[in-house]
Structure 1
Amino acid sequence: MILLVQPQRITALLPRGRYIRRTVRQELAMLKDADVVARDPVCGVQVERATAAHVIISGKKFFFCGERCRTAFLAQSEDTPHHADYVE
């Protein structure tokens, strides 16, 4: 399967020339179901687990869109609970 990225759409080229068009939101939902995407606990952006900056705290893995959000997350005080709903 070949994925061609277009503005606001992702087109998947299937055998025998058939096309299925999906919106980016639908494609991200499919990736989330495949456990490929995580949400940054600081800014809420969805990121790919394979390439995202991350940190492990108490055996829980947190993913970030970049070093800035990772640093902000780590700067939280020890008293503030980390967002458990964003863990792997």
Structure 2
Amino acid sequence: MQTQSALVIGATGLTGSLLLELLLESSAYQIVHVYARRTLGMQHPKLQEHLIDFDQYQGTVQAHTLFCCLGTTIKKVKTKEAFKKVD
């Protein structure tokens, strides 16, 4: 069987962190990549963490499945411009 990989963007937020837990527990994926601005502060044999600047990133990503959990609230970011940038 081919090694399956997942990629999670937004794993430091509420939804993304819960999804990450499920993916790390699941036998469906042998590798779980996370692209994030800050470290998760955790280690797991299946976890491969990539710290990036989303404003500057021009590389490619490779995974069998992509999960996008980006999002925020206007209360958290304070301005409509910052909200629009994330959401």
Shorter-chain TM-score tier: under 0.3
**What TM-score do the two structures reach when normalised by structure 1?**
0.20
- In terms of Rg, which structure is larger? 1
Higher relative contact order (CA 8 A, sep 6+): 2
Write 1 or 2 for the structure with the bigger share of strand: 1
